[in-house]
Structure 1
Amino acid sequence: MTRSSRARSPSMTQPSPDAVELRGITKRFPGVLANSDVSLSVRAGEIHALMGENGAGKSTLMSILYGLHQPDAGTIALHGREVSFTSPAQAISTGVGMVHQDFALFPQLTVTENVIFGREPIRRGFLSRKAARAAVASLIDKHELRLRPDTRIADLPVGLRQQVEILKLLYREASILILDEPTAVLTPAETSRLFGVLRDLAAAGKTVLFVSHKLQEVLEVSDNVTVLRDGEVTARGATSSFTGPALASAMTGRAVDLDRTYPAGSPGKVVLEIPGLTVYAGEIVGIAGNGQAELVESITTGVHDEVAHVPESRSEVGSAPHAPLAANLAVGFQRRLANKGFLRPSAIREHAGKIIARFDVRGTGSTMDTLSGGNQQKAILGRELTHGAPLLVVEQPTRGVDVGAIENIHAQLIAYRDAGHGVLLVSAELSEILALSDRILVMYGGRFVAEFDRENADPGQIGLAMAGGAR
Structure 2
Amino acid sequence: MRTMDAMNAMDAMDAMDRESAADCGHKPDTILETRSLVKRFGAFLANEGISLSIRRGEIHAILGENGAGKSTLMNMLCGMLVPDEGEIRFRGRPVRFTSPGQAMEAGIGMVHQHFMLIPALTVTENVALGMKGRSPLFRLKEACAEIRRLSERFGLEVEPERLLGDLSVGQQQRVEIVKTLYRGAEFIVLDEPTAVLTPPEVQDLFRVLSALKAQGKTIIFISHKLQEVQAICDRVTVLRLGRLAGTLEMKDTNPAEIARLMIGRDVRAPVRTGAASGTAVRLRVEGICASERGVPLLRDLSLRIREGEILGIAGVDGNGQRELAEVLFGLRGRDAGEIRLEGRELDRPHPRLMTELGAAYIPEDRHKEGLMLQMSIAENLIAKQYRGKRFSLGGFLRRRRMRACAEESIRDFAVRATGPGHRVGGLSGGNQQKVILARELMLHPRVMVAMQPTRGMDVGAAEYVHRRLLEAREQGCAILLISTELEEIMALSDRIAVIYKGRLLETMDREEADLDRIGLLMAGVESGA
Question: Please, what TM-score do these two structures have when normalized by structure 2?
Answer: 0.84
Tell me which of 420, 427, 431 is aligned to 2:487: 431
Q: Would you say the 8 A contact 1:55–1:375 is kept in 2?
A: yes
How much has 1:139 moved relative to structure 2? Answer: 1.1
Letter in 1 for 2:212: L
* Structure 1 counterpart of 2:342: none
1:5 corresponds to: none
Pair 1:169 & 2:180 matched: yes
Q: Which residue of 2 aligns with 1:262?
A: 272
C-alpha distance after superposition, 1:120-165 (max 9, x if no partner): 8969x95212112111111111111132112222111211111111
Contact 1:22 1:74 in 2 (8 A): yes
User: What's the CA shift for 1:83?
Assistant: 0.8
**1:263-342 mapped onto 2 (5 Å cutoff):** 263-268=273-278, 269-275=280-286, 276-289=302-315, 290-301=319-330, 302=350, 303-306=354-357, 307-334=359-386, 335=388, 336-342=390-396
What is the distance in 1 between the residues matched to 2:274 and 2:70? 37
Q: Partners of 2:515 and 2:271 in 1: how far apart?
A: 15
| CA positional deviation for 1:326 | 1.3
Aligned to 1:181: 192
**Which residue does the alignment assign to 1:352?**
406
Aligned residue in 2 for 1:70: 82
Sort the Cα spacing of 1:126 and 1:459 in 2 relative to 1 into closer, same or farther, 3 A.
closer
Cα distance in structure 2, aligned partners of 1:316 and 1:250: 33
Cross-structure match for 1:142: 153
Shift in Å at residue 277 of structure 1? 0.4
What letter corresponds to residue 265 of structure 2 in structure 1? R
* CA RMSD in angstroms, aligned pairs only: 1.9
Q: Structure 1 pair 127/470, CA: closer, same or farther in 2 (3 Å)?
A: same
| Alpha-carbon spacing, 1:68–1:126, altered in 2? closer, same or farther (3 Å) | closer
Q: Specify which of 196, 211, 219 is matched with residue 208 of structure 1.
A: 219
Counterpart secondary structure, 1:315: helix
Q: Deviations over 1:252-298 (max 9, x none)?
A: 011113x5452343222111111120011100000112211111111
Corresponding position: 1:447 with 2:503 = yes
Q: Which residue of 2 aligns with 1:7?
A: none
Distance apart, 1:17 and its partner CA? 4.9
Q: Distance in 2 between matches of 1:129 and 1:69?
A: 32
1:207 shift after superposition: 0.7
- Distance in 1 (alpha carbons) for counterparts of 2:87 and 2:64: 22
Q: 172-181 or 139-148, which moves further after superposition?
A: 139-148
1:121/1:127 contact within 8 Å kept:
no
Shift of 1:369: 0.9
Alignment of 1:121-140 (within 5 A): 127-140=138-151
Q: Work out which of the two has the higher radius of gyration on C-alpha atoms and give 1 or 2.
A: 2
Equivalenced residue count is 458
Residue 421 (str. 1) matches residue 421 (str. 2): no
Give the equivalent residue in structure 2 for 1:4.
none
Aligned twin of 1:116: 128
Is the CA contact 2:270–2:467 (under 8 Å) kept in the aligned structure 1? no
My pick for the range that moved more, 44-53 or 266-275, is: 266-275
Cα distance in 1 for residues equivalent to 2:134 and 2:71: 35
Q: Deviations over 1:299-334 (max 9, x none)?
A: 111123232100000000001111122111111111
Whether the 8 Å contact between 2:449 and 2:480 is mirrored in structure 1 is yes
CA distance in 2, matches of 1:97, 1:169: 5
For 2:325 and 2:504, how far apart are their aligned partners in 1? 14
Runs of at least 5 residues in structure 1 that lack an aligned partner in the other structure: 1-10
Distance 2:506 2:185 in 1: 47
Query: SS of the residue aligned with 1:19?
Result: strand
Deviations 1:164-190 (A, max 9, x none): 111110000100001112122222222
Distance in 1 separating the partners of 2:397 and 2:92: 57
Note the residue ranges of structure 2 that are not aligned, 5 or more in a row.
1-14, 287-301, 331-349
CA distance in 1, matches of 2:520, 2:215: 37
With normalisation by structure 1, the TM-score equals 0.94
**Partner of 1:21: helix, strand, or coil?**
strand
Contact 1:23–1:37 (Cα < 8 Å) also in 2: yes
Comparing 128-137 with 200-209, greater Cα deviation is found at: 128-137
> What is the DSSP-based 3-state SS (H/G/I as helix, E as strand, rest coil) of the residue aligned with 1:127?
coil
Distance 1:465 1:211 in 2: 31
Moved over 6 A (4+): 120-123
1:185 counterpart SS class: coil
Instruction: Say if 2:168 is the partner of 1:157.
Output: yes
Give deviations 1:359-392, integer Å, cap 9, x for gaps.
1111357311100111111111111122112111
Number of the residue aligned with 2:457? 401
Structure 1 residues 146 and 261, CA gap change in structure 2 (3 angstroms): farther
How far off its partner does 1:103 sit?
Answer: 1.0
Report the CA distance between 1:341 and its aligned residue.
2.4
Q: Please name the residue that 2:10 is paired with.
A: none
Cα contact 2:270–2:492 (8 A) shared by 1: no
Taking the aligned partners of 2:212 and 2:74, their CA distance within structure 1 comes to 19
- Matched-pair contact (CA < 8 Å) for 1:394–1:426: yes
